[in-house]
A = this chain, B = another copy of it.
Amino acid sequence: MKVIAEFTLVPVGTGVSLSPYVAECEKILRDSGLKVQLHANGTNLEGEWEALFAAVKRCHEKVHQMGAPRIFTTLKIGTRTDKDQTLEDKVASVKEKFQDPSERKPRE
């Protein structure tokens, strides 16, 4: 089953800077064969169910190994049977209905 997901991992009980943990996790995700798109509040993923959750588990294992005693992860999981959809399709389907004012051409 193909999945479109968003993954946000928050180490708890460490210092205030979380980026060293997130960066290690990003390496794992990029080695996983999944499509990976980092953004400001998480990482969008696209791929097969088993591969995706195996990668998320490896992130938890790695971040615990790095010393975080506790991890709080949030995931959004989307599956659909009506059509195949990519991460790029999802953005495009909104943007085609929404013309950004900054991109509007001035009337002559």
The size bracket of the interface on A is 35 or more
Q: Is the CB of B60 within 8 A of A79?
A: yes
Q: Binding site of A, secondary structure by majority: helix, strand, loop or mixed? A: mixed
| From B26, B71, B76, contact of A80 by CB (8 A) | B71
Measured between beta carbons, the chain B residues less than 8 angstroms from A41 are 4-6, 42, 44, 76, 78, 90
- Number of identical protomers: 4
Known: A1-B60, A12-B10, A94-B38. A30 touches B100 (CB 8 A): yes
| From B22, B72, B94, contact of A26 by CB (8 A) | B94
Subset of 29 A-B contacts with CB under 8 Å: A6-B40, A6-B42, A12-B18, A13-B82, A16-B70, A16-B82, A19-B97, A20-B97, A23-B98, A26-B98, A30-B100, A38-B91, A38-B94, A38-B95, A40-B87, A41-B44, A41-B76, A41-B78, A60-B77, A64-B79, A70-B78, A70-B80, A70-B82, A71-B80, A73-B75, A73-B76, A73-B77, A74-B75, A75-B75
